[in-house]
DNA sequence: ATTGATAATTCAAATTGTTTGAGTTAATCC
DNA sequence: GGATTAACTCAAACAATTTGAATTATCAAT
């Protein structure tokens, strides 16, 4: 079944809804901003913005943060998002554990949690997920009445049986519709995504890509994923499986066999140095372990290749690197990656870094899951004016 | 300068504009359709659609095509696009020639023309372009008052001096803004694009991708280009240079050194068989020329590689192949390409062909340039309902 | 052949949300 | 201190869609 891309018509009510979202997005972008300035940015009248803002204030979505004097004229009252105005739940399902995070309106995590997963069948997972949600609401009771929705990150690819790695596969999920069962388990609007897309959204809501509308996120999960954002919207593909960059063949095999957590683990395992967690990997790198450095040599070459593909295909403002790798390793890779000359990003006047590290941490994808929800609350879903 | 992706607010007037476009798009998609059905598709009331349609009829954009009886009830009056309701100009600027086409509302070419280009400086090109536009209007006087806009296809990449091939470069264009000077030369709204994106739009308006919202077009120009359409919209990248797939390195060099018109020409040249036009190439293939078959062996391997990249990154419904190659060669390549198994498109239930040939002809990009204009007239630019 | 159900369409009134224009407030500039 | 500038508010006007009742034409069943 292909992605249903049927546009809907517009009416007054839907206009209001979009304008509300656009106002929220503008405030998010600016941090604190006055009504007249919002009106100019959105090509609306101050009156309209005023109406919307008084509504949002009544809903406790906004806070007045004092007047700011810029030049002449009446100083504008500044408004900012009320962090407690809305919450988004992020859930990440991995084969061995489920992560949860509750984000406030600023995109800051207010609770995080993790439970081990012994049974990966849908019913068992739903039980854990419902429990995590319950716990989060217990810790932050104020969120109960202000939930915007939940983002779910699961191992993909979806609907593909041909090439899935057994390792990353969850059993018993073939015949269920994830969105439906999650909606039943936690009564919230659900957004489903893969880890790389979620990570990209995390960067956009609260990270290095905050003002960047078109960028790519190379994500180290079990394999190698790619989240692409063009004009503030994720590129999902026809079946939601866009960004499977790990499968792409490169001279020595497929990309993720040289560039992934699994790859480094296997390499070190073969060298008699089994590594199961990131801390060990971090320590090995601190010690400049020769076997790890050998892997890195191959990995940065593959990374250069991957960046070339992404830059030439998407022409992004920047490529963000992150995921299940220690920061020092990511920084090393960024410092030593051979950036391809044959790339549309290799332009003389390009002052932005072509590659940068994302806000790190193992929770990136979980936070990103919630960020998907925040993003849809903060963007108006109207294509930019031409 | 990055792509300005600032959303605009909505008001009654803009709602009407979008609804008009959505109605036109729905009629285009259906061919002939009744008002109530449009209303259901767009989640509007029949009354609203009725108002919009009577306006469009008054503007001569629509034709009544009789009533159609489906089941019970009053048979619905069917409406279709009036082909003469609007026209779009397509201009393709190549280093050696300028092509022009005038398309009617159905996307059918009503005039096509070509002039050789001896001087590629902007002023000279503008003179030729203005002349082609004048000629087109002379041949189709009815179009004069009903022009929707002009699409321009030019060699890219834009704003990149680092990696442009001299061959495909136009001289004297570094310091001008193409959009501005085209707008001056022909007083019409201008859309700029590269050849691959235009070709993709041609397929979507009037070709094999008519009902496909997410697909990719691999375009043989001088090099190898890629047009990506996701949810009915082109993926342009931050600076308009998305889809430069030709630059991507593959085992034997960069992709377009194995897979492009230039590549086959150079290969045959080296074998003592200079080929300058498509007909010769077609004839050589008909004769199964051994040198050409050698090139093809390498080319289909490269094509398989390219398809793997595109499928895994975009997850399209299909990949369309076309451009400056004879049809029989394209068909051969499609029949013999080694489709990668490591691809999200390699799914058991996929009944659609993974690769297909586009509506061919050397004019694809020129027609596509005009199709860009038609597309923007027929789509409402609202993101799909979630 | 008549009657009832169904579906498209139209008309007029109600509704929603934005815009317009006049007037108020509070800052800077001279 | 007065003129200018800019943000903001109020009330009325405006533009579009929606609502609900009435009309028309077809199918299906009696």
Tell me the pLDDT tens digit for each residue of A233-246.
999 999 999 999 99
Query: What 8-state DSSP symbol labels residue B248?
Result: S
Amino acid B83 CA to nucleotide C5 C1' distance, rounded Å: 39
Closest residue in A to B345 (Cα–Cα): A160
Closest residue in A to B7 (Cα–Cα): A384
Alpha-carbon distance A307 to A314, whole Å? 10
Taking residues A372-382, report their average pLDDT.
88
Sorted by sequence, the CB contacts under 8 Å of residue A290 that are 6+ apart come out as: none
CA A114-A116-A121 angle, 5° bins: 115
Alpha-carbon distance A146 to B30, whole Å? 42
Closest residue in A to B308 (Cα–Cα): A248
Query: What 8-state DSSP symbol labels residue B167?
Result: T
The whole-angstrom distance between residue B260's C-alpha and the CA centroid of its chain comes to: 18
State which protein residues have CB closer than 7 Å to strand D: A 9-13, 34-37, 46-47, 50, 71-77; B 12-13, 15-16, 19, 43-45, 47-48, 51-52, 67, 69, 71-75
Best interface-test mutation with A: which of B315, B345, B346 has the largest number of A CBs within 10 A?
A: B315
Closest residue in B to A11 (Cα–Cα): B15
CA-nearest of B228, B10, B291 to A382 is: B10
**Could you check whether the bond before residue B157 is cis, i.e. omega within 30 degrees of 0?**
yes
Long-range contacts of the stretch B166-173 (C-beta < 8 A, 24+): B167/B95, B167/B222, B167/B262, B168/B95, B168/B221, B168/B222, B168/B223, B169/B95, B170/B93, B170/B95, B170/B120, B170/B125, B171/B120, B171/B121, B172/B120, B172/B121, B172/B122, B173/B122
Using CB atoms within 10 Å of the CB of residue A167, give its burial: 0 to 12 exposed, 13 to 18 middle, 19+ buried: exposed
Amino acid B137 CA to nucleotide D15 C1' distance, rounded Å: 36
Please tell me the predicted confidence (pLDDT) of residue B166: 45
Specify the pairing of strand B253-254 against strand B249-250: antiparallel
Sorted by sequence, the CB contacts under 8 Å of residue B214 that are 6+ apart come out as: A2, A3, A5, A237, A238, B229, B230, B231, B314, B315, B316, B317
Which chain A residues are within 8 Å of B5, Cβ to Cβ? 213-214, 231-232, 384
- Which of residues A174 and B138 earns the better pLDDT score? B138
Task: Using the predicted structure, report yes or no on whether residue A384 has a pLDDT greater than 60.
Answer: no
Q: Which nucleotides of C are covered by protein (CB under 7 A)?
A: 4-12, 15-21, 25-29
Q: How far is B49 from chain A (nearest CA, A)?
A: 10
Nearest to A238 among B41, B317, B386 (CB): B317
Sorted by sequence, the CB contacts under 8 Å of residue A288 that are 6+ apart come out as: none
Best interface-test mutation with B: which of A162, A238, A240, A379 has the largest number of B CBs within 10 A?
A: A238
Q: How far is A333 from chain B (nearest CA, A)?
A: 20
Amino acid A23 CA to nucleotide D4 C1' distance, rounded Å: 30
Please tell me the predicted confidence (pLDDT) of residue B347: 82
Task: Using the predicted structure, report yes or no on whether residue A168 has a pLDDT greater than 60.
Answer: no
Which chain A residues are within 8 Å of B251, Cβ to Cβ? 251
Task: Using the predicted structure, report yes or no on whether residue A276 has a pLDDT greater than 80.
Answer: yes
DSSP result, B304-318: HHHHHHHHHHH--SE
Q: Is the CB of A48 under 7 A from strand C?
A: yes
When pLDDT is cut at 50, 70 and 90, the band that residue A6 belongs to is low
Tokens read off for B108: 């059918």
Domains annotated on chain B, with CATH:
12-81 (1.10.10.10), 85-199+370-376 (3.30.420.40), 208-358 (3.30.420.40)
Nearest to B384 among A6, A162, A239 (CB): A6
CA-nearest of B108, B63, B54 to B82 is: B63
Task: Using the predicted structure, report yes or no on whether residue A4 has a pLDDT greater than 60.
Answer: no
Largest CA distance in chain B: 72
Tokens read off for A23: 């106002």
Taking residues A289-317, report their average pLDDT.
96
Q: Which nucleotides of D are covered by protein (CB under 7 A)?
A: 4-11, 14-20, 24-28
When pLDDT is cut at 50, 70 and 90, the band that residue A251 belongs to is confident
Please tell me the predicted confidence (pLDDT) of residue A327: 94
The whole-angstrom distance between residue A61's C-alpha and the CA centroid of its chain comes to: 23
Closest residue in A to B165 (Cα–Cα): A342
Predicted confidence pLDDT, tens digits, chain B (386 residues): 444 446 789 999 999 999 999 999 999 999 999 999 999 999 999 999 999 999 999 999 999 999 888 888 999 999 999 999 999 999 999 988 999 999 999 999 999 999 999 998 999 999 999 999 999 999 999 999 999 999 999 986 666 544 544 445 677 787 788 999 999 999 999 999 999 999 999 999 999 999 899 999 999 988 899 999 999 999 999 999 999 999 998 877 899 999 999 999 999 999 999 998 899 999 999 999 999 999 999 999 999 999 999 999 999 999 999 999 999 999 999 999 999 988 888 887 788 899 999 987 789 999 999 999 999 999 876 654 43
> pTM for this structure?
0.93
Three-class SS state of A37: helix
Q: Is the CB of B72 under 7 A from strand C?
A: yes
The beta strand positions in chain A, using DSSP E, are 33-34, 62-68, 76-81, 87-93, 97-104, 109-116, 147-153, 190-193, 215-220, 224-230, 233-234, 249-250, 253-254, 318-323, 355-357
Task: Using the predicted structure, report yes or no on whether residue A163 has a pLDDT greater than 60.
Answer: no
Three-class SS state of A211: coil
Block residue for tokens 């940065």? A300
Q: How far is A283 from chain B (nearest CA, A)?
A: 34
Residues A384, B226: C-beta atoms closer than 8 Å: no
The beta strand positions in chain B, using DSSP E, are 33-34, 62-68, 76-81, 87-93, 97-104, 109-116, 147-153, 190-193, 215-220, 224-230, 233-234, 249-250, 253-254, 318-323, 355-357
Query: What 8-state DSSP symbol labels residue A10?
Result: -
β-sheet bridge partners, residue A355: A319
Nucleotide showing the shortest C1' distance to residue A11 CA: D17
Which chain A residues are within 8 Å of B3, Cβ to Cβ? 213-214, 231, 384
């Amino acid at each position: 079944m292909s992605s249903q891309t049927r546009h809907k018509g517009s009416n007054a009510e839907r206009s209001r809804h979009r304008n509300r979202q656009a106002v929220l997005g503008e405030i998010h972008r600016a941090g604190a901003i006055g009504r007249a300035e919002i009106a100019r940015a959105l090509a609306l009248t101050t009156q309209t913005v005023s109406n919307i803002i008084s509504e949002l204030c009544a809903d406790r979505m906004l806070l007045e943060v004092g007047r700011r004097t810029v030049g002449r004229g009446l100083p504008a009252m500044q408004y900012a998002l009320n962090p407690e105005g809305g919450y988004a739940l992020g859930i990440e399902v991995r084969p061995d554990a489920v992560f949860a995070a509750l984000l406030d309106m600023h995109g800051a995590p207010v609770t995080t949690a993790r439970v081990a997963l012994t049974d990966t069948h849908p019913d068992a997972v739903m039980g854990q997920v419902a429990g995590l949600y319950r716990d989060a609401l217990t810790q932050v009771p104020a969120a109960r009445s202000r939930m915007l929705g939940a983002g779910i990150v699961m191992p993909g690819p979806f609907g593909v049986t041909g090439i899935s790695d057994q390792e990353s596969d969850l059993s018993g999920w073939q015949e269920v519709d994830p969105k439906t069962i999650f909606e039943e388990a936690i009564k919230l609007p659900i957004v489903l995504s893969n880890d790389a897309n979620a990570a990209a959204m995390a960067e956009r809501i609260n990270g290095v890509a905050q003002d960047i509308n078109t960028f790519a996120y190379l994500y180290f999960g079990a394999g190698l994923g790619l989240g692409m954002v063009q004009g503030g919207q994720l590129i999902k593909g026809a079946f939601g499986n866009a960004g499977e960059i790990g499968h792409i063949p490169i001279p020595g095999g497929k990309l993720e066999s040289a560039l992934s957590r699994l790859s480094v683990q296997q390499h070190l395992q073969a060298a008699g140095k089994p590594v199961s967690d990131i801390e060990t990997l971090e320590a090995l790198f601190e010690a400049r372990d020769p076997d790890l450095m050998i892997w890195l040599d191959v990995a940065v070459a593959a990374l250069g290749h991957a960046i070339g593909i992404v830059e030439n295909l998407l022409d992004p403002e920047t490529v963000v690197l992150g995921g299940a790798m220690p920061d020092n390793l990511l920084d090393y890779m960024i410092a030593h990656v051979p950036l391809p000359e044959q790339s549309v990003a290799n332009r003389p006047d390009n002052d932005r870094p072509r590659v940068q590290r994302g806000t790190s941490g193992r929770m990136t994808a979980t936070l990103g899951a919630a960020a998907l929800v925040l993003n849809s609350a903060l963007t108006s879903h109207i294509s930019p004016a031409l």
